[in-house]
Structure 1
């Protein structure tokens, strides 16, 4: 393979988020505007990245609380295009923290790439006195170039997580992400990646063609919560409004109140797909022949992505 085509290129795709945010006061880590700086500006502010072979592309520029299907669709298409290039060793996506785990899981289930696809973000804006974005982005590039890396990964605060395991567990701290039901995959220490365990093979991907339909026509899947006094009124309202799927975050091991369970079973009988998750931070929902279908160890928001893709696959 020639020097020109050698797989040492990392493509960095920007989508906005806090990592690209700015505030008028450098001491303000809360009152900032997300998605103000372009991804090329972020890279230029990190001198060690000047020694890497990089390309940047601005796919979107939004606060990740506003992430939508159309952006997911565009992102998946651009990722697939860059992954197909022989000179590309890996891809990094800069993202907001609020919905990062959902985007990571979506890309994992649609693409399941053999090359590393690394998502990273920041809890503090780029203008903060001690911003965390530059180190996270540098670490993400180093992971994307690591020969052992593959699949969809999240790099944050020096830790490497899988798309299936990662969850945002804190609203403010800079170490806001964790693999809540399993160990971290690796740590990044002074630019070196130290793997703690082997990367497991995931499920076969759904494929990019599955999400080629106009995003406005994708199925509608909503998330419900079980709590003291929960009844079926919200289920009935959603079914009557034409919802296609429902994920319920049950208590404990996916347990549901009698009224909520009955309403969900009635919805299922009317053709609405249902998955049962848990509002607990960790642990799976065990399968039971007498219960509604389990989402396994997926969090409610990842179970929503999974159900969305299953419905699309089923036509």
Structure 2
């Protein structure tokens, strides 16, 4: 029997419903179970190229994504990726924090099989919901023999975990990949790679951390508290001082331009560093990458946006523990 696809459900708008028939907004996320989502798209059985299974990992609005759900999702992904009867995974997720979950999984999961996140901008009860097609595309991509690693697909566009970002609050094509552009497209049930072949999947940066997960999806350690602070006109250091006083272990600064900081923010960050807090810089700019400076005090997180730089710093601190 051919290896099949497992769909892991976490909720989100793709599973949302509205009391107003056909409405695109004003809905409640995470109302339908993943089995209901699969039942609404009979074409999934053919797209999977083998057995199709589903599992409900969580049922939340992704704006409320937290560490416990992340740990459970990582644990279930590891179980299924180790199963020879599984060719790939598809994950239904809300759009709001999809890019964060994608980056977390990219850093923790083995990359020998595809893990494809998908979502929707309209609820399942909308006049023209986008979830069914996105789910079909995700299963199609997860069953693609050449696909590897953590990917995301929406509105027919394939994105990498590192590049994908939500860039629009309402459009169906709400995600983009910045300067790098998309990895490919799903068109008429077929995958077309942007450069003629599937991109190489790199080994996870923190594979060792995944081994510290227990059977119940719990880490044998605490998630470090890491916050994002923005440098902006009129900024001061009081927020930084308060976060240090509250026991945060790391701070990611969403800096202006090429990593510049407000003059009132810099001394507060120095105080935080002296108190043992890890500091990282990321740029507020949605495109491009900061150029390294010879006198740079705090490491640039390799061009990551602040929300992904935060995840990288959390994992770094966990790996040290």
| 1:84 corresponds to which of 82, 85, 90 | 82
SS in 1 for 2:243: helix
Greater Cα offset, 112-121 or 216-225? 216-225
The offset of 1:252, in angstroms, is 1.1
**CA distance in 2 between partners of 1:265 and 1:111 (Å):** 35
The offset of 1:265, in angstroms, is 2.0
Aligned pairs for 1:263-274 (under 5 A) are 263-274=268-279
Q: Which residue of 2 aligns with 1:308?
A: 314
Q: Which runs of 4+ in 1 moved over 6 A?
A: none
**CA distance in 2 between partners of 1:255 and 1:205 (Å):** 28
SS in 2 for 1:136: helix
Matched, 1:294 2:289: no
Q: Which residue of 1 aligns with 2:200?
A: 200
The offset of 1:26, in angstroms, is 2.6
Number of matched pairs: 310
Aligned pairs for 1:125-204 (under 5 A) are 125-197=123-195, 198-202=198-202, 204=204
The offset of 1:205, in angstroms, is 3.2
Q: Contact 1:252–1:279 at 8 Å: present in 2 too? A: yes
| 1:37 corresponds to which of 32, 37, 54 | 32
Change in 2 beyond 3 A, CA 1:215/1:276:
farther
The offset of 1:147, in angstroms, is 1.4
The offset of 1:231, in angstroms, is 1.4
Deviations 1:151-174 (A, max 9, x none): 000011100000000000000110
Change in 2 beyond 3 A, CA 1:201/1:57:
closer
**CA distance in 1 between partners of 2:13 and 2:220 (Å):** 25
The offset of 1:259, in angstroms, is 1.6
Aligned-pair Cα RMSD in Å: 1.5
**CA distance in 2 between partners of 1:215 and 1:305 (Å):** 18
Change in 2 beyond 3 A, CA 1:98/1:216:
farther
Change in 2 beyond 3 A, CA 1:286/1:265:
farther
Q: Contact 1:222–1:304 at 8 Å: present in 2 too? A: yes
SS in 2 for 1:14: strand
Matched, 1:23 2:29: no
Q: Contact 1:112–1:205 at 8 Å: present in 2 too? A: no
Q: Which residue of 1 aligns with 2:45?
A: 50
The offset of 1:214, in angstroms, is 4.2
Structure 2: segments with no counterpart, 5+ residues = none
Normalised by the size of structure 2, how large is the TM-score?
0.93
**CA distance in 2 between partners of 1:203 and 1:258 (Å):** 39
Q: Which residue of 1 aligns with 2:252?
A: 247
SS in 1 for 2:280: strand
Q: Contact 2:212–2:220 at 8 Å: present in 1 too? A: no
**CA distance in 1 between partners of 2:290 and 2:252 (Å):** 13
The offset of 1:112, in angstroms, is 3.9
The offset of 1:203, in angstroms, is 5.1
Deviations 1:214-269 (A, max 9, x none): 48821000001111011111101101111100001011112111221221122112
Structure 1: segments with no counterpart, 5+ residues = none
**CA distance in 1 between partners of 2:69 and 2:138 (Å):** 21
